[in-house]
Chains A and B, each alone.
Chain A
Amino acid sequence: MIELYVLLIFMIIGAIIAIELKDLLSSVIAVGAVGLGLSIVLLILKAPDVAITQLVVEILCLIILIRATLKKDLPFSTTGRWLLNTLITAGFIVVFLLVAIRAFKDLPEFGYPIMRVANTYLKEGLVKTGASNLVASVILDFRAYDTLGEATVLFTAVIGVLAIVRRIGRKKKDEVVEEDDE
């Protein structure tokens, strides 16, 4: 299990680098490195479906971020009260971590899950549905309502993006509105 710890520490270092850099393009590339490390960790944890999906979704996310938003960055100056704000935020995060450590004692130990519902899916999955990929049989036969809800959420997100980007609004004085129909 040593490779799991090494990869997790690599991801944390990548996230800290992505937060602290001043150049926007370099921080986006650092987040891409974090996502790639996550995909390898998912392969080590024996989840190949999720690893394939995470890899290609992260590639598309990076393309949207880089292609659509890189403009000149503005220099920032740190106003007063910077030290007080950072200390308050760090204090809040330390309190959050301490409370979470107490909650983790109730979780089952890593590697020995309680699989009450999943034992039924594992035993009867092949017989009842005929699919040999058990994860596909869970998302499309045993729990198909969740997939219907997910299709609805994607549809709403696409409609939302098209509604934000449309060019209908108030006309300025001598501006000709060219309708960019979608």
Chain B
Amino acid sequence: MIIYLLCLVLFCCGLYCILRKRNIIKIILGVIIAEYAVNLFFILVAYRMEGRSPILSSEVEIVNLVDPLPQALVLTAIVIGLATTALLVALAMRIYEKYGTFDITKIKELRG
């Protein structure tokens, strides 16, 4: 139970950074930290006490394996997270080019 709580505290750190910071790059760092916390939570649910990694081998007879299903889900989620981060960084660079600043309180005109 305490491990799940520590994982949730990491997610709340990322959430605080998204809500309260004024620099766009800091907001992107908050999104990255929140993503790490969610992926960690999935793998924590899948752990089995005294388990072994889900890769069979020809010499040893294995009885106790860890759950492989959340690991398969997280594997694709990590690469998709990288693609989303790259998209955010491209948007931030375009905003800097147009307005000359990274501060979100100065980007208030909704004109084209």
Consider the complex of A and B and state whether they touch directly, i.e. have CB atoms less than 8 Å apart: yes
Give the distance in Å from the alpha carbon of A104 to the alpha carbon of B20 in the complex: 27
Most interface-central of B22, B83, B102 (chain A CB within 10 A): B83
| Chain A residues positioned under 8 Å from B23 (CB to CB) | 24, 73, 76
Give the distance in Å from the alpha carbon of A61 to the alpha carbon of B85 in the complex: 8
| Chain B residues positioned under 8 Å from A84 (CB to CB) | none
Chain A nearest Cβ from B81, distance in angstroms: 8
Contact partner of A113 among B32, B47, B78, CB < 8 A?
B47
Give the distance in Å from the alpha carbon of A35 to the alpha carbon of B37 in the complex: 10
Within 8 A of A (CB), among B22-69: 22-23, 25-26, 28-30, 32-33, 36, 39-40, 43-49, 51-58, 65-69
Contact partner of B43 among A47, A134, A153, CB < 8 A?
A47
Check A118–B69 contact: CB distance below 8 A.
yes
With A19-B13, A146-B76, A160-B87 known as contacts, the answer to whether A113 contacts B55 (CB < 8 A) is no
CB-defined interface of A10-43 with B at 8 Å, one 1/0 digit per residue? 0110011011000010011001001100100110
With A111-B48, A113-B46, A132-B55 known as contacts, the answer to whether A24 contacts B25 (CB < 8 A) is yes
Check A121–B47 contact: CB distance below 8 A.
no
Check B20–A117 contact: CB distance below 8 A.
no
Give the distance in Å from the alpha carbon of A133 to the alpha carbon of B83 in the complex: 26
Number of interface residues, chain B, beta carbon within 8 A: 78
| Chain A residues positioned under 8 Å from B94 (CB to CB) | 164-165
Give the distance in Å from the alpha carbon of A19 to the alpha carbon of B50 in the complex: 36
Q: Is A100 an interface residue when CB atoms closer than 8 A count as contact?
A: yes
Give the distance in Å from the alpha carbon of A153 to the alpha carbon of B81 in the complex: 10
Q: Is A50 an interface residue when CB atoms closer than 8 A count as contact?
A: yes
Check B86–A74 contact: CB distance below 8 A.
no
> Which chain A residues have a beta carbon within 8 Å of chain B's beta carbons?
4-5, 8-9, 11-12, 15-16, 18-19, 24, 27-28, 31, 34-35, 38, 41-42, 45-50, 53-54, 57, 60-61, 64-65, 68-69, 71, 73-74, 76, 79, 85-86, 89-90, 93, 96-97, 100-101, 104, 107, 109-113, 115, 117-118, 121-122, 126, 132-135, 138-139, 143, 146-147, 150, 153-154, 157-158, 160-161, 164-165
7 cross-chain CB contacts under 8 A: A12-B6, A19-B13, A64-B89, A110-B47, A112-B49, A113-B46, A161-B90
> Which chain B residues have a beta carbon within 8 Å of chain A's beta carbons?
1-10, 12-17, 19-23, 25-26, 28-30, 32-33, 36, 39-40, 43-49, 51-58, 65-69, 71-76, 78-87, 89-94, 96, 101-103, 105
